[in-house]
Every structure is written in C-alpha cells, then in structure tokens.
A and B are shown apart, each in its own frame.
Chain A
Amino acid sequence: MADAMLRTENLGISFGGLKAVQDLNLEIRRQQLYGLVGPNGAGKTTVFNMLTGVYQPTFGTFYLDGEELKGKSQEKINHRGIARTFQNIRLFNNMSVIRNVMVGLHNQPEFRCTPAESFLRLPRHFSTEYAMRDRAKEILRIFDLEEERNNLACNLPYGKQRKLEIARALATNPKLLLLDEPAAGMNPYETEDLMRIVRGLRDDYGLTILLIEHDMKFVSGLCDEITVLNFGTVLTQGPTDRALSDPEVIKAYIGE
C-alpha cells in the first residue's frame, strides 16, 4: 500500500537462539497514531531498537515511506526520518533544556555550518546559531517548556523531562516518531496534557506516531490501531477497542 508510512515485513530478531521478536508485520498509515502494547518483556522496546538501527534485525525488513532502512546506521535512519524517545529517559543532562533541543536540530539542512566556519566564527556561524535558537524556542513552546529553557535538563521534574525528550526528537524533523512509554511516571494531569500534545503533533505537524505505553487509558484515548505483542509474537492487531477486548489479549494480561 503506497500510503503506508512504516511497513515492516516479518521483522524479527534473535539473541543467541532466543527469538526476542518474530514475524512482526506492521503497517502504519500516514498521520496515524499507532500503539504497541504488551506485557513486560514482550519485545516492544526491541522493536524500537530495530527500527532505529540500534539492533540489526535478524529476519525481515522494514520500509519508511517506501524506502528500505534495514541495515542502515542509527544516524542514517534518523536522517531518513525516524526519531525516538527512550523508556529510561536519556537526556543530555549537563546541558540546558534549549541546548538539548538544539542538538536535535543539528542535522537540519537549513542549519548547515561546517566546523571550519565555526572555528573562524564566519558570519554563517552566527546566523545559524540564532536561527537554531529561535527554532528551538518555537519547539519548546509547543511543549510549554519555554520558561525552563535555561535550566539544566537534569533539574527538570520527571514529566517535563519526558516532554523534553519528545521535543528533542521532534527537532530532528522526523516523519515517524517513536515514543517509548511517554506517559510513564506522569501524574494524571500531565498525562492528559501529553495526550493533547501528541494529538497536536499529528494534527498540526502531520507526524506519524508509533507509541509504546502501559497506560491503557492513554492508548485507547489516542491510538486508532494497536498491535499487542506477547513473548515476541503478535497476539492481535487491529482497531484499539477490538484488539483490547480480544480474549487472547485479556488472557495474556490477566491470566486464565
């Protein structure tokens, strides 16, 4: 289907004989909010790691917007348009909030500036820096983090750190955004706020979003379709309500 933003074909990986993920077939449409759920250890983050080039898939392949990205390095995959957040937050802790976002902007073509130009402080160095700063502020505004821009990332409260991670990923101008448990550790108000932001990213910025989340209210409130993984295999796939009421899924979660 030409309209698919992300398509995986029998994607799988094994670690020394143990098949962590197998036969994963996803098809995520443009501007879709897609959920990846499943119990702990089901292989959800492993899927993210394969899609971002941290792990090389053992089987199958995947396409972003029709382009095969399997075997590409993490940097290349990011340049092609997949950005992610991490389950255990990985911010640049000793840098200010705005600089975190500016790192995300690093590779945008409009902010090109060679090391030689920076070494000698040629005019382009200054114009790039100012432009990057302005863009970073715009992005922070979306997440309501503008006030915090000069604080160190590690001093932010947990919920804001999660938001900053998304902001930073957004700065790389992705086509597909992978969010790994974005609402983990957030209080109900923050979660509500985050849902609004994620929906906004899709509606206003045309992003396609694949997210992992344990908070089922979050998932069912946002995603139109989900895939449920269990022990590395697909348990069920389809529209959120139907998939979540699937007896197999309930069995996997609650037990017999």
Chain B
Amino acid sequence: MSVLFDGLSLGAIYAMIALGYTMVYGIAKMLNFAHGDIIMVGAYAIYTTMVFWGKGLWVAVIGAAVLCTLMGILMEKLAYKPLRGASPLAVLITAIGVSYLLQSLAQLIFGVTPRPVNLGSFGSVEILGASIPVSTVLTLVIGAVLMAGLTLFVNKTNTGRAMQAVSEDRGAAQLMGVNVNFIIMITFAIGSALAAAASVFYLMQIPLVEPLLGSMPGIKAFTAAVIGGIGSIPGAMIGGVMLGVIEKICLSIDAIKDYTTAIEFGLLILILLVRPIGLLGKKRREKV
C-alpha cells in the first residue's frame, strides 16, 4: 500500500516534469533536453533561500518558481529562438548543450557534493491502514490541482486555445493573428514553473541538492511523456504516474530491483514498437 502511494507521488512529480516536456514539444516542436535541469535550478534556489538566507519555505518556493520561469524564458530566447526554422537536429543538439551548461555551472558554483536541505517535517497520516507521510499526500493533492488547473487553462482561456492552435499549425495560427513567439515563450514559462513545483516535491522526498539532480528525473519524465504520447497533456499525466508506480513497484521487489532503470526504458522501447505515437498521442500527417 505504501509502495503504491510512494509510486503515485513519484509519478505526480514525473507527471509535472513530463508536462513541461510535452507542452514544449507540442507547441515549439522541439525536445527541450534542458527541462530536467530546470528542476535542479529550482532546487538550488530553494536551497539558497532557505539555507543561505534563512528564509521560510514559502519564500523559497515562490523564489524558485520565479527563477525557474525566468530561466525557461531566457533559455528559449537565447538558445532556441535563433534556431527557429533550423533543422530539428540542430535544435536538439543545442538543447543538450544548454542542459550541460546548466549542470556544469551549478557544479562550478555550488560544488558537486550534495547539499542537504530540510523543508521541515510534516509527519505522517494513516490512510487505509498504512502510514503515509504528509509530504506524499501533499504531492499528490497539489500535483492533481496543478494539472487540473493546467488542463483548464489550455482548454478554456484564450491563451490556452492559441497554444492549441500553434501546436496544430504554426503557420495558420500566425495568419490568424496569434503571436507565435509570445505563445512559445508562455509555454516555456509554464513548463518551467511546473518544473519548479516538481523541484519542491522532489526535495520533500529526497532532501539533497546536487548538480545532476535534474538529469535522471528529467530523462525519466521525458520517457513518461513519450509513453503517454508526446504532445498530449493527459498522456503526460498518465505516463508520469504510470512510470512512477512501476518504478516504485520494481524497487520494492528484490529480484528485479537492480534492473529498474532497464525495465523503465525497456518499456519505452516496447511501447514505441507497439504504438509509436504513445498511449494517447495523435497521428500527425506530414505536409508535402
């Protein structure tokens, strides 16, 4: 039971990161490799505000959100915007470069040693006979709220609809008066803000900050996004939760514990074999 809850909360974290991937992919048609490292930036922001400046959790969270959002926008403007219209290969390589840039900068500034950061203890509650940490429950609840909010935003607001339009056909959206550059910027901002949220929950589970903190969750979340169908928002949520639960279940079984990563990525390859567009992905017709 507690394994399931652990899995769900890890899944919620993955889902939040995966949303960032999937939105950027859907709208900017690029794989933002550096997205995982935004989590790391968020975590260091929290660390700095709480440990260095001794501020409270809320200040830290807000600070992380603001910093990550700005980071996302900056990244888009400096690295990706000049490449709009270039080959996807060039964009992808640049994104990998950005990811490396963030990681190495973090290491140069903060060092490679993991720094402990204590977000405070929340105790635990009894649910269905199992003792579940409150942080897990918080992750689940806030994660669900954020994702619901995002779904509403994309479907009900003008900006959200403009995002859908850009994702369908950038050229046509531009002709209809949608400011494509602005929409892409907003997408990066939202994705990065979600990454900031993910970093808070990540630190609740593992209270250590290190430069490579974002890279593995980032890759896993990206796997989740592909499994769910890249570009699809509900797909990212389902994929994330699925991957989180699978990971925790694998880790809880001794025989296959060591192969967890292999199993997760194996699942990705398997799903791409059987259903190349992912669980909820949509077929795209190529323009000729």
Contacts and interface: CB of A to CB of B under 8 A. Distances in A.
Interface of A: 15, 45, 49, 54-55, 86
A86 B285 contact: no
B78 interface: no
Contacts of B285: 15, 55
Nearest to A15: B285
A57 to B, nearest CB: 14
B86 to A, nearest CB: 13
B288 interface: yes
Contact size range, B: under 10
A59 B286 CA distance: 20
Contacts of B288: 45, 49, 54, 86
A49 B287 CA distance: 10
Interface in B242-288: 285-286, 288
6 contacts: A15-B285, A45-B288, A49-B288, A54-B286, A54-B288, A86-B288
A187 B285 CA distance: 33
A69 to B, nearest CB: 17
B85 to A, nearest CB: 14
Nearest to A180: B288
A52 to B, nearest CB: 9
A137 B286 CA distance: 33
Contacts of A86: 288
Contacts of A15: 285
With a 10 A CB-CB cut-off, give which of A15, A49, A86 has the most chain B CB atoms.
Answer: A49
A83 to B, nearest CB: 14
B199 to A, nearest CB: 40
B52 to A, nearest CB: 51
Give 5 nearest A-B pairs by CB, closest first.
Answer: A54-B288, A49-B288, A86-B288, A45-B288, A15-B285
Contacts of A49: 288
A145 B202 CA distance: 63
A10 B201 CA distance: 59
A15 B287 CA distance: 13
A40 to B, nearest CB: 14
Contacts of A55: 285
A107 B268 CA distance: 36
A15 B285 CA distance: 10
Interface in B154-177: none
Nearest to A48: B288
B89 to A, nearest CB: 13
A54 B285 CA distance: 10
A206 B144 CA distance: 67
Contacts of B286: 54
A55 B286 CA distance: 9
A15 B288 CA distance: 15
A45 B286 CA distance: 13
Contacts of A45: 288
A15 B284 CA distance: 11
Nearest to B283: A16
B275 to A, nearest CB: 19
A244 to B, nearest CB: 28
A56 to B, nearest CB: 11
A49 B286 CA distance: 11
